[in-house]
Structure 1
């Protein structure tokens, strides 16, 4: 993967993060949780892309986050939990049937995504510009 691909993924992460913030402010909690997850997803994807790694399944990326970032000490255990939380709450928001994401869960997902984006930025600030408004 190229640096250009990684930057495109980073831009998608920032766009998803901003969308999550707007959605939660207007009561769109399911959609806000989904966008928060995709902010984390695209952020982690950008980081791995610079290592020449891509993933075709959400579960494969989650596994890589825990195995290659958390277990190696590049990310804290808390960041690994944040990633998994975002993935779980996205599942509720997108596929929850009669279960809905509430305001607290959506806000927590946005904060988890924010921490993940900061970790990606902090790892390679020259490649990934700061998260606006944070």
Structure 2
């Protein structure tokens, strides 16, 4: 287990969540959702590294997290749904020029990201202690 890489991903996840909250405060909802997703993405990468897994695509990363952590009951199934919703909303916000990401959706994304990040951090703290 590469603790340095795990910690780097967790730090990046925290930074992305902070950026998402800042974007939200300035009503930049597309960017808030994007940062929320990337916070979760980096948290997921850190969790996968505890099993010495790393992938080159987002789909592979999300699929492996589902297989290793959601389907095994380490994290609740609701996380899987929230993660895929974040992924889809992030794509809409980043690529769709007519995206309709509003304050409520952005706020839900930030809340989900924080919940998932906190849970992954607690899991990693528990297994490396």
Q: TM-score range by the shorter chain?
A: over 0.9
Please give the alpha-carbon distance, in whole angstroms, between the structure 2 residues aligned to 1:125 and 1:85.
26
Q: Deviations over 1:20-72 (max 9, x none)?
A: 00100110100000000000000010111122111111111111122111110
Tell me, yes or no, if the aligned pair for 1:31 and 1:93 is still in contact at 8 Å.
yes
Compare 66-75 and 32-41 and name the one that shifted more. 66-75
> What aligned pairs does 1:38-117 form with structure 2 within 5 A after superposition?
38-117=38-117
Q: After the TM superposition, which parts of structure 1 deviate over 4 Å for at least 4 consecutive aligned residues?
A: none
Alignment size in residue pairs: 128
Q: What TM-score do the two structures reach when normalised by structure 1?
A: 0.89
Distance 1:23 1:117 in 2: 18
- What residue ranges of structure 2 are gaps of 5+ in the alignment? none
**Residue 20 in structure 1 maps to residue 24 in structure 2:** no
Task: Look up the SS of the partner of 1:100 in the other structure.
Answer: coil
Which residue is equivalent to 1:6?
A: 6
Helix, strand or coil: the match of 1:73?
coil
State the alpha-carbon separation in 1 of the partners of residues 58 and 86 from structure 2: 11
Q: 1:74 to 1:127 in 2, by over 3 A?
A: closer
Instruction: Please state whether the residue corresponding to 1:124 is helix, strand or coil.
Output: helix
Contact map agreement 1:40 1:83 (CA 8 A) in 2 = yes
What CA RMSD, in Å, does the superposition of the two structures yield over aligned residues? Answer: 1.6
Indicate conservation of the 8 Å contact 1:44/1:65, yes or no: yes
> Could you tell me the TM-score, scaled by structure 2's length?
0.93
Deviations for 1:78-119, whole angstroms, at most 9, x for unmatched residues?
A: 111111111111011101121231111111111111111111
